[in-house]
Structure 1
Amino acid sequence: MRQTSNLYSKQNSKETKHYIGGDKKVMKKSLSLLVAAAMTLSTASVAFAADGATTTELSTQAKFDALKAAGVFSGFPDGSAGLDKEMTRAEFAKVLTKLSELAENSAANVYSDVAKTHWAAGFIGAASEAGLLNGLGAGKFGPSGKVTIEQIAKVADLVAGVEPSDKEVTGKVSAWAKGFVAAAIEAGLLPELPSYQVNATRGQLVDVAYDLAQPVEKDLKAVEAKQSGAKKVTVKFNREAVAAEKTALTYELKSGLTTYPVTATFAADNKSVDLAVAYLPAGDYTVTVKGSDAINVKVEDEAAKKVDIAVTALQQVADQDLGVKVYNQFGEEMSGVNTQISSYNVTKTKQLTPGNQLDLNVGGADEAAINDVISVTAIVPSAGLSVNKQLKVINGSAATSIKLDQVQPIAGDARISVKDGYVLPLTLVDAAGQKVVLPNGDIDLTGAAGPKSVTYAGLVFYVSDNTIVEKFTVTDGVIKFETKKAGTVFVTVTNGAAAASAQTSIVVNDAAKVKTFELGNSGKLIVKGEKAVLPFTAVDTFGAAIAAKDAVLTNVKFNAFGSEIVPVKNAKGELEFNFGQTGPTTIYVYVDGVLQTKSVSINVADVAVYKAVQKVDVATTLEVDAQVTLNQDNILLVDNYGRTSNVAADKFTVTSGKTSVVDYVGGKLVAKAEGTAEITVSSTANAGITDKKFTVTVVKNSAITSYAVDTIDTLFGSTTAADTVGYEKAVALVGKTAGGTTVALKSTAPDFVTSSDESVLKVAADGTTVVGQKAGKSTVAAYLNGSKVAEREVTVATDAKVVKTVEFDKDEYTTTVGADITPAAKVTVKDQYGVVLTTSVGKILVSDPSIATVTGGAVKGIKVGSTTITYVASNGTTDSAVLVVNP
């Protein structure tokens, strides 16, 4: 048992523990070591623990001796400790200063009743400046006044980092001190006493000071648990948890006999942990944390408690989001809540189209003009909530901040040259911090050559030379322009109403012209009748390398097999040759009629033919009733040169040697019954192609001994639900046999999944789909029949969606003179997250406009011949195909 002063031992015989908050060491290490060293010189009593181990407990006198040796306490002139004497406020200031290792600070002593020469002036100043002690008012400190036990409790809690407690106190205590006394008792800094309003003795302060001086931690315990979110319970601890304790902790959340899997996330101060649950119905729960008693928690259903309109102004743009948000009783934004939104033009006394997307991009300002007041009302009928805001329609004249960044070359370019597609990086912000978006339209700067200014949407746009930049085009807030000739142009954007302005300069270079040209060899097989891409390097008249896609080859000629050959330069900058003869030849290059120093020797092989079905990429072990896709995308053919490519969609057959086990129906292998079946894949592209045979094994569910989460590529993350539409990922399972063989399952969906960090990766309402929220990593755990069966770490990125790949569905298209073909409809454009982009992100180019032209995305044949069509995405990513125009 811990020994205390006589007063303590009379009132409390039970064992108490001490606790230091914050970093759990109020004293610096040097003072703790000094106290420990002094303890060896003191008299200690020996007690025996329940398990028979010996523990050393110090008497109050021994604690005094240790603290005296550490310089915290001083004895009386007669050598006594005076443990039964009362403590003055001046003495208390010294003890607190020493305990906290504060430097004496007489300058901070501002009390009129404490002389600068007073022995405790430095201690009183230091303790007061640190906020450990306060004055009595009227500039007085009362250095000779006494200190009560409840005053000690408050200061001890402050020094130890202990929060006030709402636990009951049985002894006599002032209302203001109840929480501090309860916390001190709970932390083991004070025993239970009949009264805490009495003056404290030196012995009582010695016991408290000694506990505060020790770097010993009390056992970590869960002391409170309550619902803190629609799917979250927060557990509070009696102190900060260290790393090892956080790792060792386990959690159980139960309602009746049902256990709910949780994902634990500690608060920044490590004094509480959030337990996130995929599904949390209302009811009575118990939370059990390892090493702590179970705590009861009442869970209520999520309810709408607040509706708000986020925007502060409206603009003349299309589909602007009014930012209507609904919040639950925990301050969390809710989704899927039915809201009724109406907008009314107060200025024009006109009802606007209801809904969260308001379209004010009307040329004649029929819907709303600048400075019109729009009354927007949002109602949540089910909760009886409503909000109304009067929003003013603004334009550029509302911008109090204008920023123009430097115009950058187009991706892949070394400099700005004469071409289109440049972006003017203009940022406008109003007084409320809201971004101002300009309406769609053209800012036409044409007219008499020279400087020109135009007012648009309340702003003045000025260019120093309108023969270089003739027009800016605003589309969905992005301002684009093209350069017409070389030179330097200054652009200024001004808002006279707010005295805001910004300027930038643009240096435009001449288009590069080829001076020297060197053709390279691709190192790949060149086959008659097939497109052969050869690399090249070109240098302009200024000695600078010309980017392949920018090289204009009108002054470059090529000769092979004794005659001129004309390659096609696609939008990637590649030269595509097509040879109609076989055998060795040399390609000679001429620039402006001058033979270049290097030529390229090649050998053109004979026409390729397919020889065999080389590979069929499909699962070969299936669960009974499972189905797997087997189509042209799974089948690879190999030609006489060892090259592979996918079979055409209508040029293959699939047969099963035992349809009772595995059948091929509707482009899928269907597992019928346990057993094995030989599958034969044949190509009908041309005669003599060797078939591919392989065995498919069908197993029962009982043969599956484990599961794994199927691969999940990097997901796009955004807290705006609209941004993640199409970027969700349904978690799928694959099975594993005892031997580790992967099994395609009848159903790949788990019962539900959890995420280790829902701030990074959120589980959708269906329980099996995950949605990215912010950049980071989170572990997805999949559950079947109430048990976790597999998990996988998932990476979420928030990089803006950009085009990553562009692919035509064919290498060659045919049309006739006067007929249209719409290759854009045959192009698959994907971003870096592997998701198909359905909106227009590029345009079609034709390498020879005399063969075909492009109008509105459709390519029309003009005359008989062949040319290259290239789809160019907004970031320069391309793919090309050959277009043959027949009569």
Structure 2
Amino acid sequence: MGETSNSLSKQNSQQPKQFRGGEKKVMKKSLSLLVAICMVFSMFATVVSAAETEVTAGEYLNELGVIQGNQEGDLKEDQTWKRQDMVVLLSRLMGEEAEAEGTEKSHGFEDVTDAYYDGYISWAVEKGLVNGKSETKFGFGDELETRDFLALLIRVLNPEAKYEEVEEDAIAWGFATEDTDFDANALRGETYTGIVAALKTEVGENGETLEEILGLVEGPAVDAEQAGVKKISVKFNKPVDESKVEFAVKNGVSARDVVKATFSEDKKAAELELSSKLRAGNTTVTVTGVGSDDLVSEFTAEDEKVTEIKFTSDKLALGTVTGSQTNEADYSKVSVGYKIINQFEEDVTNTSGGSLTFQVGKSGVTASPSNGVLTLTSGGQTSNFFFGETVYVNAILNMSSYGVTASQTFTVDRQAMVDSVEILEVYNQDGKELMTNSTFPDFFVLVDAKDQYGNAVTLDQFKSGVFASVDNPMLFMIDKDQAVDGQGPNNDKIGIPLTAPQNGTLVFEGTNTVRVQTLFGGKVDTVEVPVKKAATLTTFTLEAPDKTVSAGQTVKIPFTAYDQNGEQLKKYSALNGKVTLNATAGTISMEQNYSTKEAYIEWTAPGAKGFVVLTSFVTGTPNNSQLQINVEDAGVAESVSKLDVNKTMMVDATVKVEPKHIIVKDQFGRDMKLADLLGTGGVYKAVVSAADGTANVVTGFGTLNVSGDSLTLVAADKGSERVKVELIKIGTGGAADKVVSTLENFTFKVVDSSAIDSYEVTAIDMISNKTANHNKTVEVKGKISNSESVTLPKSAYTVTVTAPLTYDQGSNKISATAATVAGSTYSWSNDGKLHGTFNVTILATGESIVNDITVTDEALVPKTFKQKDAGSLKAADGVVQGPSANVASLSDVFATVEVKDQFGVVMTAADLGQFTATVTNLDNVAGSDMVVNNNGGTVQTVTVANVQEGDSYSVVFISRSSGERYSVKVVANS
């Protein structure tokens, strides 16, 4: 083979490469080439470097295998293209070299003297990419002019393109300009440079380069693995743009929210922090924003396993007499720190679960563990501790399926003193910045303080062992005696709250230095805390509510508020105290939505109709707003607007009608809940009947008298049944009942199986084997010709399941409670999954619809939370309110939380497992200091003493099994 034929490699095929995270998808060939052509010809005018690589453009293309040079490795960059060589290069850029090379000879060009090119030329001719100079002459060996080069490439985009129109088409495509010399021959070196520049250009939606999309180089790839109970380590094969990257994590059947992603400095790795613990099983990490396709990496996650109980010292520190002014030693108590460690070397002392007990080798001594501190208390003077005494302690953590133990012989030593202190950060649980208008006690200086034995100190030890100060009290102040524990993102740090500036009214911006110093040893740590100038409210405008206001009704009044920079203000903290609200009648106030932290205006209209004027005044400015509202009569039920149930049924099918299915509106067109109208002093009832008085097709009609009533309507025969729904006001004092409204435009249509065109079965992907509450209802529906859904009777089909699944026809539910793992003869996978099927057979047609279903042995863990009223406590908008005695008990407060597991099933008290409760942000409005007992302990052990009307606090509940957190604000209102 001659020199020319060697100048292009015939061994390298540019087929898409395989890589972790999914198969690279090559963009549509014509689009790929269009981008390449545009880039190549835009580079002809100015020769550029090969993307700042250490090799030339030709050498880079040589590394990719696009060109190879002759036997001596000469890339012939100073030579022009031959027509046949450009065809080979074209096949490679299109990713079809193997196809082109293997194409059987079909051309009739007599001047093609090298058989190596027969396949390539035949491929190009068959695709309409190239024509010969005549029927028998290809122009083999001829130099390729720009006109021919463009003609070749244009035909990739438009096979019907005519050679005589090349110049016009090239200009139209943007490949050339009016100044292009179509007779010139471009040197190879120039085209190499242009091609490399094109290949290096980001052309994909997510920054993919053309060479990645064409599969010439490996595209982005991802590899993920578990790095902690709630952490995943993600590695990329090349740097990524963190502003575009998004992560989605699925652990078994459950999604895991990514609360934080921290990227490495080189942007080739990220650590994901999840909202809840990973459970054992297949875990998928999906990454978007990196390549044209989602990148996916899978690994098998492990359940958390405690591996070690570690004591933090071999010394038992003597206690200090409570209230002692001389730091008098308390010989009845000693303490030492401990940690519970999992397989990832993470400290899970407060979230490990299980039952932790300590055995002490000294009679009359009780052991009390709390928040990583073990306190030993003697039973009297005869069992008091003494300096230098040795005490043996054995720790046992029972995790049901396994246990972990630790033993240590300790020496009683001096009282623990704060020996070191490290300021970690200034923390706000809502992530706010410290501003001049901030509520300063919402910000905490988090510290990590240790005693001389390396143990974390208690809150009392910290308060008595440090001195805290600020350099500029005009910005804010700090008081270490107000320090509280249970602070920080993991509720495990001591926090010193900031307090308002010394002047109390004027607040300045600037930077303040916080200094914390140990009294024992004088060790100091400092932190610079910036205070930014807050936005100033300048404009506040009241807006009309979007619905009619009735007498006595409580409504929210919309508003818009802007600062001096034109930025909209919504947060309660930015508006509270800055606006005065008045109403000529009724009561008006600004309230806080504790879930969103945003403000809203609540107005209760007066009890009589009439005009009311609402006004707002921005404090310290002339800005004011007025809103006139016409208060109408109180809303009364006026019409029945809709019966909201499926109207097409098969014979023998049933439809349940409850108050929620009957839509009632008042005289202003507003929805009213029928359930609220029924049974309230016997005022209203709803009668559902056949419109013509005779129930021929549908039976089961009747009356709804109270909110809990329901009717089961039965499709008795084929045909149609017009329904009448009457809302009736019940007469009192001898007066007759009065029909308020009648709905008669609803018609049931009852069909037999012959009218049904198709059947659908709702998929059940996963079912838990834990409780009967996790049983799944089989949903089968029919479809008629107009695509209406048909309600079927259970008698229209049968359901069979594979063992150990069971099916109950009465409830129409599939159960997996018989699917136990222990002693099972079934094929459970390593991740606790059992695969089976349920089969629905349609009796009318004999059609069988088979559905796959997976049984999981996954432990039930808390996943989602919702508020509910409980006893005398009322819960809404992230706030729990009630009598002082009830809000003092965290068990009572926790009763207002409805917890659902990862399958969306409400968890019973027996299933909930252990939740801890950490109380923060004590607000002693009533003047009697509240005291939290056993803060951070399990819910049933935490109480708040001295709660009086007006006092409030915040509490975060944390599941020890899943790590899920839920926070509420608690207010004593009576």
* TM-score, scaled to structure 2: 0.38
The TM-score normalised by the length of structure 1 is 0.41
